[in-house]
A and B are shown apart, each in its own frame.
Chain A
Amino acid sequence: KQEVTQIPAALSVPEGENLVLNCSFTDSAIYNLQWFRQDPGKGLTSLLLIQSSQREQTSGRLNASLDKSSGRSTLYIAASQPGDSATYLCAVSGANNLFFGTGTRLTVIP
């Protein structure tokens, strides 16, 4: 069964820093990989979707990369802001399911 791991579990950075969140998965036979943001007590907001044939996707200050053969993805956040504080989840898509990591809780200190 697919296993998804996110490291670190928590990260605290000063405002303005660039940062990288990591995601690894055990089975490279994925359809796509999606990064989500979750604020406390709220639902998931999709940030970026990378198809299995793609290497990266960008949206504003966010850039996600995918190396399917090594089972890794990174989410790069440029010039972090306090409003970026949230839990970030990566999920890989199988045939009928998304497999989630347990997330990285990010705190950006003003």
Chain B
Amino acid sequence: DVKVTQSSRYLVKRTGEKVFLECVQDMDHENMFWYRQDPGLGLRLIYFSYDVKMKEKGDIPEGYSVSREKKERFSLILESASTNQTSMYLCASSRQGANYGYTFGSGTRLTVV
């Protein structure tokens, strides 16, 4: 069964901390994505990557950075966590090309206090 694995289900961090959210996929997918999900706002794209070491900004990249050193792993970094980054973070992957759907991980609920 194909999988996208997010390393943490729940995280609590303090304001100002540097936070790493990890995502690993075992499907050899080229594309990987980070979304955040907030009530009333739906899912919003933070960053995506279509190849190793490549990254593109999504709709809300401010306050975030990403790293993709290996094809299977895509990390989201909160350089200095703030309370308005409290959210559900969802990682997804897909194969390159228009015919393929997205596979999502189980999500990380991050609370910044």
Q: Which A residues fall within an 8 A CB radius of B?
A: 31-32, 34, 36, 41-46, 49, 51-52, 89, 91, 93, 96-98, 100-103
CB closest residue in chain B, given A48: B101
The proximity string for B residues 69-113 relative to A, scoring 1 for CB distances below 8 Å and 0 otherwise, is: 000000000000000000010101000001111111111010000
Max count, chain B CB within 10 A of own CB: residue among A44, A93, A101: A44
A32 B42 Cβ-Cβ under 8 A: no
B107 A43 Cβ-Cβ under 8 A: yes
- The complex places the Cα of A10 from the Cα of B16 at a distance, in Å, of 37
A42 B42 Cβ-Cβ under 8 A: no
Which B residues are CB-close (under 8 A) to A91?
A: 43, 102
B56 on interface, CB distance cutoff 8 Å: yes
Q: Which B residues fall within an 8 A CB radius of A?
A: 6, 31, 33, 40-43, 45, 48, 50, 56, 58, 88, 90, 92, 98-107, 109
Given contacts A97-B48, A101-B42, contact A42 B107 (CB under 8 A): yes
Given contacts A41-B107, A43-B90, contact A96 B56 (CB under 8 A): yes
Which A residues are CB-close (under 8 A) to B90?
A: 43-44
Nearest CB of chain A from residue B22's CB, rounded to whole Å: 15
A43 B105 Cβ-Cβ under 8 A: yes
B58 A102 Cβ-Cβ under 8 A: no
Additional A-B contact list (19), CB under 8 Å, known A43-B90, A96-B50: A32-B99, A32-B101, A34-B101, A42-B106, A43-B105, A43-B106, A43-B107, A44-B92, A44-B104, A46-B104, A89-B43, A93-B101, A93-B102, A96-B31, A96-B48, A96-B56, A97-B45, A97-B58, A98-B43
A46 B102 Cβ-Cβ under 8 A: yes
- The complex places the Cα of A84 from the Cα of B24 at a distance, in Å, of 28
B102 A34 Cβ-Cβ under 8 A: yes
Point out the residue from B43, B103, B106 that lies within 8 Å of A100, measured CB to CB: B43
